[in-house]
Amino acid sequence: MGFRCVPLFLLAAVLLPDISPAQVADMSGTWVLNKKRSSWGSSVRPFDVYMRIDHREPLLKYDGTVTYANEGTREFAYDGAIDGQPRTAARPAGSGTMTHQRIGPREFKTEFRVTGGHYVQTVDTVISRDGKTLTRSLRIETSEGVSRWTEVYDRK
């Protein structure tokens, strides 16, 4: 038997998958926290979370509200892209940079770092194959330690 050559374009297709906007799952819509399917660990469990997403790959814009039983309602928003570029962002933990990086057609990773402080929030966001469930796995590292929890959202 002789050596068989694999065409370069086939090898490249296997080793370097191309994720085009047409292949990426659309996360647009209104999402509501499913408290029963979420797990909180030692983190404070919110009473409700509503989120509206406008996703036009790579553009990502979202806003929403989170309500805690004893703290009232807090709003949040982001307007940027899933392109791996850091953007200025402000969160309750402080001001810093936020980066969204595409991992696969149904998944991206977000990292938020507070400028000049020890606070890093990493979020893995995955949309289900049927597009009805959005799962966010969060990890927050501060000088006090590490917290982890998982939020599950249903599309409305």
Query: In tens digits, what is the pLDDT along the chain, a chain of 156 residues?
Result: 444 544 443 333 444 444 555 699 999 999 999 999 999 887 778 999 999 999 999 999 999 999 988 878 999 999 999 999 999 998 888 999 999 999 999 999 999 999 988 999 999 999 999 999 999 999 999 999 999 999 999 999
- The continuous run of DSSP H or E covering 11 comes out as helix 8-15
Q: Are 49 and 151 in contact (CB under 8 A)?
A: yes
Q: Is the peptide bond before 58 cis (omega within 30 degrees of 0)?
A: yes
Phi-psi region of 131 (alpha: psi -120 to 50; beta: other; left: phi over 0): left
Q: Which CATH number fits domain 20-155: 3.40.50.360, 3.40.50.720, 2.40.128.20, 3.65.10.10?
A: 2.40.128.20
CA distance 4 to 127: 40
